[in-house]
């Protein structure tokens, strides 16, 4: 059962914001869905967008500039929140941990393990809800995301290649085990055993045998987090060793913001549409 928060007509479709009581997180979760106009009874392919640190569903919904392309291409666009929220949900004062920074893992460490189950939420609960409530063809799914959400898109896509026929990312954290953002989050949510982290690290997953048919990544070369936190060269090396066709585009002058994401969003959606049919 979902509750409609708002709907608006846009680009020949409906942009909605919804919430529901999540059994996975034990909280109310909010998400947005854009559904383009379509023939009665038609089922449309779905592209998931996972957002980054500090974000909610609203950042890409308001700044992502995806609706015109989705309407043209016939794609449903789903944007979940980045963490559980609300009274009684653990939080931290830093922007890169706690609420708004779920890192798309199932936390095993207290107090985070009570609610921070974003892996199961994005991989299982929310897809079942989308399949039940919207005209989605769940045999044709793609996934993308930005920054922490790019990490989520890569790892979820690599773990579920039969479910996601297309995977892309904007400025992703490609190797969280090797950078400060990731080490902090993985230690806090999953504990000190770095072997456990490998299922949540795109480079490690590729090293351990996970494969994709192809991958598209856009990265601004003026991104202030490029050298310390994002390190796309590690993904390029892993894909090269594994024979995964990677299109890595370093975009001159672009930073880490939604100005970059929105500029290349239509390119990514066309890339997904070609693979989703």
- Sign of the Cα pseudo-torsion (215, 216, 218, 221, in order): positive
Nearest to 29 by CA among 17, 37, 21, 38: 21
Neighbours of 33 (CB within 10 A): 24
Q: Give the active site residue among 32, 147, 166, 168.
A: 147
Q: Using CA atoms, how far apart are residues 104 and 143, in angstroms rounded to an integer?
A: 13
Quick check: 182 and 151 in contact, CB under 8 A?
Answer: yes
Sheet with 13-21, edge to edge strand ranges = 3-9, 13-21, 28-36, 76-80, 44-50, 136-145, 164-170, 215-220, 246-251
Q: Give the active site residue among 57, 115, 256, 268.
A: 256
Neighbours of 9 (CB within 10 A): 9
| Joined tokens for residue 275 | 């693979």
Residue 256 known to be catalytic: yes
Provide the total of helices (H) and of strands (E) in the chain, helices listed first.
10, 9
Q: Give the active site residue among 117, 223, 268, 272.
A: 223
Residue 22 known to be catalytic: no
Contacts of 275 (CB under 8 A, 6+ apart): 142, 165, 166, 213, 214
Phi, psi of 31 (to 5 degrees): -150, 165
Quick check: 102 and 84 in contact, CB under 8 A?
Answer: yes
| Joined tokens for residue 11 | 């680009």
Residue 223 known to be catalytic: yes
> Active-site residue numbers?
147, 223, 256
């Amino acid at each position: 059962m979902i509750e409609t928060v708002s709907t608006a007509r846009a680009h020949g479709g409906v942009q909605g914001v919804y919430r529901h009581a999540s059994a996975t997180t034990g909280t109310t979760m909010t998400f947005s869905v854009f559904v383009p106009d379509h023939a009665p009874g038609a089922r449309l392919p779905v592209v998931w967008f996972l957002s980054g640190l500090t974000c909610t569903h609203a950042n890409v919904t308001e700044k992502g500039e995806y609706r015109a392309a989705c309407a043209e291409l016939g794609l449903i666009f789903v944007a979940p929140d980045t963490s559980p929220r609300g009274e009684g949900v653990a939080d931290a004062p830093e922007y890169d941990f706690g609420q708004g920074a779920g890192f798309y893992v199932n936390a095993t460490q207290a107090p985070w393990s009570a609610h921070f189950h974003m892996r199961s939420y994005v991989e299982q609960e929310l897809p079942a809800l989308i399949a039940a409530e919207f005209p989605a063809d769940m045999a044709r799914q793609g996934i993308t995301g930005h920054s922490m959400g790019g990490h989520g898109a890569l790892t979820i896509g690599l773990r579920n290649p039969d479910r996601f026929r297309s995977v892309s990312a904007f400025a992703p954290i490609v190797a969280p085990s090797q950078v400060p953002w990731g080490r902090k989050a993985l230690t806090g949510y999953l504990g000190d055993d770095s072997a456990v982290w490998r299922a949540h690290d795109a480079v490690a997953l590729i090293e351990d045998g996970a494969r994709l048919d192809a991958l598209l990544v856009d990265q601004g070369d003026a991104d202030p987090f490029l050298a310390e936190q994002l390190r796309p060269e590690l993904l390029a090396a892993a894909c090269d060793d594994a024979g995964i066709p990677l299109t890595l585009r370093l975009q001159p002058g672009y930073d880490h913001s939604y100005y970059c994401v929105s500029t290349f969003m239509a390119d990514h959606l066309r890339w997904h549409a070609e693979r989703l049919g």
